[in-house]
């Protein structure tokens, strides 16, 4: 038997994304089926899901999903929440223990709003979203053993150590329905496999699943820290979630423009562009050079009104897209799409650095 049979496959990790542009609700059992098809792309050290539209009764509240190492951490985090936010509901996240997932952190969710006396004014120019982000950064960095792993409105992430189908069964995601789903099967290579390090990584309504490696992590991390972000989850993908928040929410870039900044063309390609386009891309590369993502990657990220799939600039990781009627699918393998959509109308592989952006129809209320 060849020695190569025992070498680790660093091209692993599997991802899937589903969106209904009409906002139709999709059962969590569908995304489970798709990501389970990519079982061999992981090694049981991380799996997870993000879903949009799952908390319609609390759609105006930020849904905090927290994991705790111990009750002391839970007590400290809840004291901070009570002081700074209005907690309408606090409850344990429903789970189902199994032989595959016999133990877990303490898992709770909180539906919160910003207190009036903590809200920013026209003078301070601090939005509710800014206050929520500050809360996430504080708890994740300053309260030992407490981690907010989901903080958006009408959406939630569910993740942990295990294969994704095991994580799906643990969180009983078949009981949730969303109009966007993303899923991830992790094969960690350079970072630890732990509950907080599983994908998706989220902030507000941004959620990202990623196959590959962000070799520019150090530069991206230092850049984000200039804007007050604190990276504590020990996985390179965390930078992408925060870069999306910075570029799109705080700096006001459109998703397609932010994608160009994250995976800008090479200078030799820019030199051959028409003059107007060349000036725009050059400006983006100069202003956001420290936000540029290097390394092999394919990622899918979701937000309240859409989903985006993208490869690195030379397509070192696979990504396949398909569509049928109002449904769009993205995955690491075509088989993961065919498993849940046997006869798509169109199937294609995006070019290197090309973002595939799918939005809800304009008349759909998210």
Please tell me whether residue 335 adopts helix, strand or coil conformation: helix
- Give the span between the Cα atoms of 186 and 153, in whole angstroms: 26
- At residue 86, φ and ψ (nearest 5 deg) are -90, 120
243 neighbors 259 (Cβ within 8 angstroms): no
Angle CA 242–246–251, to nearest 5: 170
* Residues 6 or more apart in contact with residue 283 via CB below 8 angstroms: none
Residue 213 DSSP one-character state: -
- Give the span between the Cα atoms of 322 and 329, in whole angstroms: 5
Kindly provide the b/e burial profile for residues 343-353, where b requires at least 16 CB atoms within 10 angstroms of the residue's own CB. Answer: ebeeeeebeeb
Q: Which residue has the tokens 């997870």?
A: 48
Whether 13 is a known active-site residue: answer yes
**Active-site option among 13, 37, 259, 341:** 13
Neighbours of 121 (CB within 10 A): 7
- Give the span between the Cα atoms of 313 and 93, in whole angstroms: 39
Can you read off the two tokens belonging to residue 32? 């489970």
Q: Look at the chain and count its residues.
A: 366
- Give the span between the Cα atoms of 242 and 247, in whole angstroms: 9
- Give the span between the Cα atoms of 122 and 203, in whole angstroms: 24
Which of 142, 159, 128 lies closest to 62, judged by CA? 128
Q: Which residue has the tokens 């569908």?
A: 30
Which residues are known catalytic residues?
Answer: 13
């Amino acid at each position: 038997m060849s020695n190569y049979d025992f070498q680790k496959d660093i091209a692993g990790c599997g991802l899937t994304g589903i969106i209904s542009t009409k906002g139709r609700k999709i059962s969590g059992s569908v995304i489970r089926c798709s990501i389970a098809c990519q079982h061999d792309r992981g090694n049981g050290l991380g799996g997870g899901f993000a879903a949009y539209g799952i908390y319609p009764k609390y759609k105006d509240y930020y849904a905090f999903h927290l994991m705790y190492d111990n009750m002391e951490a839970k007590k400290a985090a809840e004291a901070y929440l009570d002081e700074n936010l209005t907690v309408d509901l606090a409850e344990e996240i429903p789970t189902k223990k199994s032989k595959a997932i016999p133990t877990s952190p303490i898992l709770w969710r909180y539906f919160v709003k910003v207190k009036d006396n903590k809200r920013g004014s026209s003078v301070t120019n601090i939005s509710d979203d800014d206050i929520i982000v500050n809360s996430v950064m504080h708890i994740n960095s300053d309260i030992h053993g407490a981690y907010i792993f989901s903080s958006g409105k009408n959406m939630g992430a569910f993740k942990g150590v295990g294969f994704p189908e095991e994580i799906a069964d643990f969180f009983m995601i078949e009981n949730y329905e969303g109009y966007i789903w993303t899923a991830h099967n992790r094969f960690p290579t350079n970072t630890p496999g732990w509950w907080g390090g599983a994908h998706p990584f989220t902030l507000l309504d941004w959620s990202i699943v990623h196959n590959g490696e962000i070799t520019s992590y150090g530069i991206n991390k230092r850049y984000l820290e200039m804007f007050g972000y604190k990276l504590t989850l020990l996985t390179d993908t965390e930078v992408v979630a925060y870069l999306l928040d910075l570029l799109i929410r705080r700096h006001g870039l459109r998703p397609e423009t932010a994608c160009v900044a994250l995976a800008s063309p090479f200078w030799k390609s820019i030199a051959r562009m028409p003059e107007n386009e060349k000036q725009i891309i050059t400006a983006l590369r100069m202003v956001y050079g420290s936000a540029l993502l290097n390394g092999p990657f394919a990622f899918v990220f979701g937000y309240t009104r859409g989903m985006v799939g993208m490869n690195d600039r030379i397509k070192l990781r696979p990504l396949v897209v398909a569509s049928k009627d109002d449904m769009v699918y993205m995955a690491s393998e075509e088989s993961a799409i065919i498993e849940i959509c046997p006869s798509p109308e169109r199937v294609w592989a995006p070019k290197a650095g090309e973002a595939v952006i799918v939005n809800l129809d304009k008349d759909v209320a998210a």
